[in-house]
Amino acid sequence: MLDCARVLVLYAGGTIGMKASGRGYVPSPGYLAEQLARLPQFHDASLPVQQDDGRPVFVTPPSREGRRVSLTVKEYEPLLDSSNMGMEDWARIAEDVGRHDAEFDAFVVLHGTDTMAYSASALSFMLENLSKTVILTGSQIPLTTARTDALDNLLGALTIAGHFEIPEVCLYFCHKLLRGNRAQKQDASGFDAFWSGNFPPLVEVGIDIKAKWDLILQPTGEPLHVQTKMNPNVAALRLFPGITAETLANFLRPPLEGVVLETYGSGNAPDRRRDLLDALRAATDRGVVIVNCTQCHKGTVSATYAAGIALAEAGVIGGADLTPEAALTKLSYLLAKGLSPTDIRSQMQLNLRGELTAGQGARYSFRER
């Protein structure tokens, strides 16, 4: 009797299952499952397609390790281009993981690439005490187009989900499994669409599948808790030379409660612009939590320059090496808990789900920890 891992595939939308139409690629209900049934990598044709509560269940052929993966496909209605997704869609995915946690070994979320890094970050916070593998994936070309990257991405994600236990929200693309809250979309047209500038991949897939167990988070051992509530009063502002104080003050107006301020280099903003610093100070005094993240895709915010220190003096907190996607979703998650601005500011600087590298002081010897 062959070993079989049970994976729930939550199909939220995205190019992976889209069909070509007169208005470009569009999502098409039922289409993805029809195609999976025909592809021998995803369904062993010698077995019938089972139904689970009206959802198709496919069983892959055995892997090199002798393990099959059974995939139950739960298709969302409506299927969305991820540009149309919002916080309620994250809540729906999180709820589904919570509802089916006991029945399945792992979860794969099929999702558009455009906002996948936001969803992966949000889910990493919303799924508290996660003990199962959750992998978001998608593709740049639909599954049914000849030169598609969907086969590789979906097969890779399913293989990892069915063979490894990685209790994190991850993002799989182009042979790499990234920590979800470290990932960013880096390429609108290439197949290697995601990267994680401040953290190495958790798993790399070649002839062999290599997991870096020393990087993978340990489960807490506590029961899974799903926080579906997120606070929508958050926003990101990318600083640019010549921004006016009026623009900044208008942006910071209520109901805004949390801001990701995307600054230059290692966390710098103009320290000769009293008007901007005053607008920031007025907002932080009102309780708005403002987090300093760099516009660079790699590296960290630090207190190297006077231009960065002036922000701290205005009450802006350092976001270390958080991606803006992770910072925004973490703010939204913490604000929804109803914590005080002081508590949120301190939790924003703690490493909750591997999203930031805390305490990046200088180290001079292998002996130091």
Q: How far is CA 67 from CA 155, 292, 323, in A?
A: 14, 46, 36
Choose which of 75, 89, 114, 321 interacts with ligand ASP (CB under 6 A).
114
Of 140 and 332, the one with the shorter C-beta distance to ligand ASP is 140
Name the one residue in this structure whose structure tokens are 């897939």.
Answer: 205
Q: Which is nearer to ligand ASP, 76 or 264 (CB)?
A: 76
Residue in this structure with the two tokens 């669409």, named with its chain if needed: 193
Binding of ligand ASP by 140 (CB under 6 A)? yes
- Binding segment for ligand ASP among 107-115, 159-167, 270-278, 328-336 (CB under 6 A)? 107-115
Minimum CB–partner distance for residue 206 and ligand ASP (Å): 24
Least distance (Å) between residue 84 CB and ligand ASP? 8
Q: CB-wise, 73 or 79, nearer to ligand ASP?
A: 79
Q: Under the criterion CB under 6 A, does residue 112 sit at the interface with ligand ASP?
A: yes
Asked if 108 and 11 count as a contact pair (C-beta separation under 8 A), the reply is no
Phi, psi of 233 (to 5 degrees): -85, 55
- The DSSP letter of residue 157 is H
Ordered alpha helix ranges (H), 30-100: 31-38, 87-100
- Residues 95, 230: contact at Cβ < 8 Å? no
Interface with ligand ASP (CB under 6 A), residue from 17, 56, 98, 138: 138
Which span (106-114, 201-209, 213-221, 357-365) binds ligand ASP, by CB under 6 A? 106-114
Nearer to ligand ASP, 75 or 81 (CB): 81
Closer CB to ligand ASP, 15 or 133, in the complex: 15
Q: What burial class does residue 219 get, using C-beta atoms within 10 Å of its C-beta: 0-12 exposed, 13-18 middle, 19+ buried?
A: middle
Q: CA 190, 151, 51 angle in degrees (round to 5)?
A: 140
Beta bridge partners of 74: 10
Catalytic positions = 15
82 near ligand ASP (CB under 6 A): yes
Which residue number has the CB closest to ligand ASP? Answer: 112
- Give the per-residue contact string, 23-62, with ligand ASP (x = CB under 6 A; - = no): ----------------------------------------
In terms of Cβ atoms closer than 10 Å to its own Cβ (0-12, 13-18, 19+), residue 202 is buried
Q: Is 111:76 a contact under the CB 8 Å cutoff?
A: no
Interacting residues with ligand ASP (CB under 6 A): 13-15, 81-83, 112-114, 138, 140
